[in-house]
Amino acid sequence: LMYFAGKYHLFMQYNPFSPTFGNISWYHMISEDLVSWKHLPLALSPDRSWECGGVFTGSATIYRNDTSGQDMPVLIFSTACGDYFALATPQNLSDPELVRWEKPSFDPLYKRPSGLSPGGFRDPTTAW
């Protein structure tokens, strides 16, 4: 759950094609009061060759650019195969619903270090 520009944004893992595991994407909903929710298009979907198994666990956070003072929502996620961490940012910060997200060309951010099991390389967060 992330609060930005007067709206709560809820993201969750979701397979848009089946009730089973696979093709994991991030579903996105918004609310102003945490009671009524508006369903939005998927925030993240696997669309890169290294996103093996899908866009898996991660977190949503607000990053403050110390130079500009501007707040920037950021989604950071792992891949289902446990090999990579990557991020996404809104395509348009002036869109209060943050409907469209984009992954930068330099993604992925990190590759799993050798010797670490895939199950031990997931759930990235900036909360710590």
| Alpha carbons 99 and 117: distance in angstroms, whole number | 34
Among 13, 9, 10, 17, CA closest to 78: 13
- Dump pLDDT digits (tens) for 16-54: 999 988 889 999 999 999 999 999 999 999 999 888 889
- Dump pLDDT digits (tens) for 95-115: 999 999 999 988 888 888 888
